[in-house]
Structure formats: C-alpha cells, structure tokens
Amino acid sequence: MTQEPTDLPDGARWPGPDLHTLRAVVELDLALDTDVVVDAAHAVVTDLADRAFGHGWQRWYGEALEAEGVTDLRRVLAHDSVAEAVLARLRDRMREDDETPDPPSEEYGWYAYPPGVSAGRVQWRRAVRRRRESARTAAVLPRRRRVAGRRRRG
C-alpha cells in the first residue's frame, strides 16, 4: 500500500483523528438515516476518515460504539465523555494496526487554561447566564439618551 500525502496542495494538513473528525462521521451517519441527499458529503467525510483513522476505521467505529453501549448516535454528539470514549477506542485500534497513521500525542492539547487549572463548565455556564441577564436587563430598563454637550457624572 502506498502512503498518501499528508499535506494538501496549499500547505494545509489533513484533519487528524480527533473529536471533530469523529463528529463529522457521526453527523453523516445520522444524515444517512434521513431522506437528505448526502452523496458528495459521504465521499468527502469517508475519505477524511480513511486518512485520519486508517482504512479499518468503519469496523473499529462500529466496535467502539458497541463497546460504549451507544445505540443512539446523537449521544456521541451531545455528550463529550461518550465521544471521547469512542475516540479513545478508535485510537487504541490505530495503535494496534501498523498500516494506519500514528494517532497524535495526547500529552498536549489546546486549552483555555494552563495545565492543572480549569474553570469547568459550571463556571462557564454561570458567566453566560450573567451576560444574558445583563443583556436582558439592558433591553428592558430604559436608559437616558445622551445629549450633546451634557457631561456624564462619575
């Protein structure tokens, strides 16, 4: 088997075996269950998955879903923990197969906070709620209009 190029013509890299690639596969699977026409999307996403996970990905994907007890694919989209567990199983299978690309190192990643510090989802949701409340309050309470030449106090 020949190794496919890892770089695209414009210098960009092919997507790797990450949560975004997995979710693209899941969204395509969900679309295939509806009457939406997905011929071109199917070709693009399956080619992307072949390059990211290796040529055995479809069998491994089914095994990973079954091992995690996923019967409704929407759980993979809705719950990060389920998606990460399925992805971990796919990457384990990639490590076992010599013909697949090596999965990326899981030592480093992109995070909003330095290692060991996490604001967590609860604090993020509180911040969003506060912003929504302040926006709602600003929309409801009238403000004095600015008048040219009048100075603000304070």
> Mind listing the pLDDT tens digit for each residue in 3-13?
454 554 555 55
Model confidence at 87: pLDDT above 70: yes
Q: Convert the pLDDT of each residue in 101-114 to its tens digit.
A: 777 666 655 555 56
The answer to which of 77-86, 88-97, 120-129, 143-152 has the lowest mean pLDDT is: 143-152
Name residues whose C-beta falls within 8 Å of residue 8's C-beta, 6 or more positions apart in sequence. Answer: 14
Taking Cα atoms as reference points, which of 109, 108, 1, 12 lies closest to residue 54? 1
> Which of the four pLDDT bands, split at 50, 70 and 90, describes residue 82?
very high
Q: Write down the pLDDT at residue 3.
A: 47
Model confidence at 91: pLDDT above 60: yes
Q: How far apart are CA 76 and CA 59, in angstroms?
A: 17
> Which of the four pLDDT bands, split at 50, 70 and 90, describes residue 1?
very low
Q: Write down the pLDDT at residue 65.
A: 93
Q: Convert the pLDDT of each residue in 97-143 to its tens digit.
A: 888 777 766 665 555 556 666 666 667 777 778 888 877 777 777 66
Model confidence at 67: pLDDT above 60: yes
Q: How far apart are CA 21 and CA 84, in angstroms?
A: 12
* C-alpha distances out from residue 122 to 26, 41, 77, 125, Å: 27, 35, 19, 5
